[in-house]
Amino acid sequence: MAELTTFEQFVKRVLEIVFWVLIFLPLVILPVFYLVYVLPVELQCNFVLLGCSHSIDWATALYMFSPNQLNPFDPTSFISSMGLGASSILFRAGFFPGLTFVAVLSSFVIWYERKLLAKMQYRVGPLYAGRVGGIFQSFADLFKLLFKEIVIPAKADRLMFLAPVFGMMALGGALIGIVPVGANEFVASSPYSLLIALAILSFFPLVTLIAGWASNNKFSFIGAIRALYQMISYEIPLILSVIGVVILAGSLDFTGIVNSQNKIWFIAPMILGAIVFYITAMAEVERIPFDLPEADSELVAGWLTEYTSMVFGTINLAIYIKLYAMSAIFTLLFLGGWSGPAPVPDFVWFLIKTIIVMTIFIIPRGANPRIRIDQLIDLGWVWLIGLSFLNIFIALVLKASGLL
């Protein structure tokens, strides 16, 4: 650390500290607070007495703030009066179906992906960080990135260069917010949650384009244009492939879609839609064989070329959150979501299915080379759109004949 000589440096240092506190607060401090302080107390109490049902009711929250309820000698009432309980919106958004849970899951998936690929390639993979097979490698990488310098290119547009960090995290957070992990475990629910998730997904190309343009680098620019091409042309088959499921379920809500799969999982009648969704989702999250925007042999790192340090780490985390969200949506639409035999909690079933889907997303990376942009667009516009229309037709026939 250099010595502070001017006021400007002092302000910069303070801003840096504030920035990292803001990053750390939701990711580390709040979860620890919940785990150590709130959760043990919460588990002892009666949920009904506290007035916190599973859904958020602002009238109840206001009622809890009334002075009659506040007893300084009773930690339970104190916590719930501040709206911090295990069923509060803060807990849901910040910890369990929310950010921390997905961030930890993503770091696990990064480790899992590296181990799986290493097995495919006769390597060992991460080995030393953590006792069991380098399971803490992602965290070691996280701390390495945390202590690196943030380099912004001299000719880059500073504001627009940093905007994608927040944009990607916001979009990732929004996806987490709308995708439920269980019948009662969700951050927010809406009768149009599938539509909202698709709308959020269509914002990613914009952020990518901003990142590529603001870097003022030719490789970044070409990568961003490729990402734009790829994501926009694959969004149409993505949405079309979902329509079949919506027709059969008669609902745009993830909960409704999952509930309508109690007889049969939609992957059986909608196998074409599932295939189209799988391919387009792989293209949307830029995984091999569709990783053209980051093609490392011709475009260095594509639109991420100029990003360093935790700025890069945050964007990468958001990309993995997107991968998680895509697998989760696939599970919800085609694999019956959280339905499963009773003694195991529903979100555990959901997690098992999601991780299996993620594995299917990861495996092509070890077996395929990268496809070219003209072949990619050809595949998207000709084959996938055709297949998804066929899928819609099948769904209509099934619905009209009353089979499902």
Partner 1 sequence: MPVGATGISTQQVEEDKLVVSIGPQHPGAGHFRFTITVEGDMIVDVLPDPGYVHRGAEKQTEYRNYTQSIPLLERSSLTDVTNIIGPYSLAAEELMGIEIPPRAQYLRMIMSENQRIISHLYWLGIQAIFLGHSTMFMWPLGDRDLLIDLGEMIGGARITYSYWIPGGVRNDIPGNFKERALKTYDYFEKRLVDYERIFFENPLFLKRTQGVGVLKREEAIRFGVVGPVLRASDVKSDTRLDEPYCLYKDVNFEVPVYKECDTWARCMVHLFEMRQSIRIIRQILEKIPSGSVRVKLSPQQRTRPGEAYARVEASRGAMAFHIISDGGTKPYRTKISVPSFRNLIVLKKLLIGSHVADMPAIYWSLDYWPVEADR
Helices 193-201 and 218-249: angle between axes, nearest 10 degrees: 160
DSSP string computed for 36-97: IIIHHHHHHS-HHHHT--SS--HHHHHHHTSTTT--TT-HHHHHHHTT-STTSHHHHHHTSS
Instruction: Please tell me whether residue 275 binds partner 1 under the rule CB under 8 A.
Output: no
The tokens describing 263, both together, are 């007889």
Supply the minimum distance, in Å, between the C-beta of residue 375 and partner 1.
6
Candidate residues 1, 159, 367, 400; the one interacting with partner 1 per rule CB under 8 A: 367
Which part of the chain contacts partner 1 (CB under 8 A), choosing from 96-104, 205-213, 289-297, 381-389?
289-297
State which residue, 297 or 401, has the beta carbon closest to partner 1. Answer: 297
Whole-angstrom CA distances from 377 to 6, 37, 225, 243 are 54, 53, 13, 21
Instruction: Please tell me whether residue 284 binds partner 1 under the rule CB under 8 A.
Output: no
Residues 6+ apart with CB under 8 A from 304: 211, 220, 223, 294, 312, 315, 316
Which residues inside 164-223 make contact with partner 1, applying CB under 8 A? 218-219, 221-222
User: What is the pattern of x (binds partner 1, CB under 8 A) and - over residues 319-358?
Assistant: ----------------------------------------
Supply the minimum distance, in Å, between the C-beta of residue 121 and partner 1.
4
Nearest Cα residue to 186 out of 361, 45, 320, 346: 346
Contact between 147 and 116 under an 8 Å Cβ cutoff? The reply is: no
Nearest Cα residue to 289 out of 229, 368, 210, 397: 368
Which part of the chain contacts partner 1 (CB under 8 A), choosing from 34-42, 173-181, 239-247, 365-373?
365-373
Which part of the chain contacts partner 1 (CB under 8 A), choosing from 45-53, 64-72, 348-356, 368-376?
368-376
The tokens describing 16, both together, are 């840096």
State which residue, 190 or 216, has the beta carbon closest to partner 1. Answer: 216
Q: Which residue type, as a one-letter code, is found at position 51?
A: G
Supply the minimum distance, in Å, between the C-beta of residue 72 and partner 1.
60
Which residues inside 371-400 make contact with partner 1, applying CB under 8 A? 371-375
Whole-angstrom CA distances from 77 to 45, 68, 164, 189, 216 are 10, 10, 41, 27, 54
Instruction: Please tell me whether residue 155 binds partner 1 under the rule CB under 8 A.
Output: no
Instruction: Please tell me whether residue 288 binds partner 1 under the rule CB under 8 A.
Output: yes
Nearest Cα residue to 276 out of 379, 393, 397: 379
State which residue, 57 or 296, has the beta carbon closest to partner 1. Answer: 296
Q: Is 65 exposed, middle or buried (0-12, 13-18, 19+ CB in 10 A)?
A: exposed
Instruction: Please tell me whether residue 366 binds partner 1 under the rule CB under 8 A.
Output: yes
Supply the minimum distance, in Å, between the C-beta of residue 145 and partner 1.
20
Instruction: Please tell me whether residue 285 binds partner 1 under the rule CB under 8 A.
Output: no
Instruction: Please tell me whether residue 292 binds partner 1 under the rule CB under 8 A.
Output: yes
Size of the residue set binding partner 1 (CB under 8 A): 29
Which part of the chain contacts partner 1 (CB under 8 A), choosing from 10-18, 320-328, 335-343, 364-372?
364-372
* Continuous segment of H or E residues that includes residue 325: helix 309-334
State the Cα–Cα distance between residues 210 and 168, nearest whole angstrom.
Answer: 11
State the Cα–Cα distance between residues 32 and 185, nearest whole angstrom.
Answer: 20
Supply the minimum distance, in Å, between the C-beta of residue 250 and partner 1.
38
Which residues inside 104-143 make contact with partner 1, applying CB under 8 A? 117, 120-123
State the Cα–Cα distance between residues 94 and 100, nearest whole angstrom.
Answer: 6
Instruction: Please tell me whether residue 296 binds partner 1 under the rule CB under 8 A.
Output: yes
Candidate residues 298, 344, 356, 393; the one interacting with partner 1 per rule CB under 8 A: 298
Residues 6+ apart with CB under 8 A from 291: 370
State which residue, 92 or 115, has the beta carbon closest to partner 1. Answer: 115
Q: What are the residues binding partner 1 (CB under 8 A)? A: 117, 120-123, 218-219, 221-222, 288-289, 291-292, 295-298, 300, 365-375
